[in-house]
Structure 1
Amino acid sequence: MRTSKRTQILEAAARVVEREGVKSVTFDSVAAEAGLTKGGLLYHFASRDDLVRAIHRHLADQWEAGMTAAAGKPPAEATAAERLTAYTRVATQSATRAELLFMLEGATTADHAAPWNAVIERWAPPPAAPADDPAALDRFIARLAADGLWLYESLTAERLDPGIRQAVAERIAATLARDDD
């Protein structure tokens, strides 16, 4: 199936962010990366803010698609344990700089944060009362460990040895599996 022009533009914008950061997303930089004219971009996005909102949605949708694939089903059909296990499996994979920068940038604007927050709410919401439920607290700690590995991989120049990353990911998953017993 052919990728739509809109998707090509969003992927080009993510590449610009990978190299140069969020502030570098302009119609000129994205058009050049996508191999389009500025007018071609304006056909799909009326403003830079429309483009940035669409990038947030695109990246959050890709993130959620990874969790759906890891779970083998959509979040509505998965148990809480299956959702959290899928979340941790995806989070323990290396994130892109674009994802990290957009998540950080999104945290400053409710409209931009909405797609990311919706994904987290479906897959790995924080526990309501962890002090009253030690198992819920353990699950949340596993989520934080997965987030920490994701962040570590996003911020360091050197990549972890794949065997080490896999061992850490399996250890986190094993913590969740023990909780299912």
Structure 2
Amino acid sequence: MRRSKRDLILDAAVALIAAEGLEHLSYETLADAAGLSKSGLIYHFPSRHDLLLGIHRHLADAWETELRTIAGAPAEECTDSQRLRAVVISMGRTADLAELIMILDARSDPEYKAVWADVDTRWMPAPDTSDAYLVQLTAYGLWAHDHVHHRPLSTDDRERLIAAALKQIPT
């Protein structure tokens, strides 16, 4: 199946953010990275806000697809435990730098934040003091760890921590 230009633009934007940071994302740098004209980008994304919203949706959709694949079903067809298991397995990997940057950027705009909140609401327990939420916080820590700590987790340590978190999921 041939990919759409919109998807090619969004993938190029994600790669550019990972390599150069969000502050270096412009129509000029993105046109060069995507191999398109600036007017071609503007056709799909008339404003920077539209482009950033598109990137947030693109990444959030990819994450939800991953969660569905891990769980074997959409969120609404899973139990709380099945959803949390998918979250732990997904977030047990190290965050892609572009994902982490965009998650942080989402705090700057209610529309961006809503994109991620939609996925969170379907898949994660609400913040509280429950054991399930503690497991979710562990998953967040695994996801961000290698970007905020001076010593990355080894593959073996990461796998052991994921297994330990999975054992803590309430049934």
Alignment of 1:19-98 (within 5 A): 19-98=19-98
Structure 1 segments of 4 or more deviating over 2 A?
A: 153-160
* 8 Å contact from structure 1 (residues 96, 154) kept in 2: no
Q: Show the counterpart of 1:172.
A: 165
| Ranges in structure 1 where 5+ consecutive residues have no aligned partner | 131-136
From 129, 137, 142, give the equivalent of 2:135: 142
Instruction: Give me the CA root mean square deviation.
Output: 1.4
Please report how far the alpha carbon of residue 158 of structure 1 lies from its aligned counterpart in structure 2 after TM superposition: 5.6
TM-score, normalising length: structure 2: 0.94
- What is the one-letter code of the residue matched to 2:125? P
**More divergent stretch after superposition (22-31 vs 52-61):** 22-31
Note the residue ranges of structure 2 that are not aligned, 5 or more in a row.
Answer: none
SS in 2 for 1:18: helix
Find 2:148's aligned residue among 148, 151, 155: 155
Aligned counterparts of 1:119 and 1:65: Cα–Cα separation in 2? 10
Q: Deviations over 1:104-140 (max 9, x none)?
A: 110121111111111111000325x64xxxxxx1111
| Paired positions, count | 171
Cα deviation for residue 25 of structure 1 reads 1.4
SS in 2 for 1:160: coil
Q: Calculate percent identity across the aligned residue pairs.
A: 36
Residues 44/157 of structure 1: CA separation in 2 closer, same or farther (3 Å cut) = farther
- Over 3 Å counting, the alpha-carbon distance change for 1:10 and 1:157 in structure 2 is farther
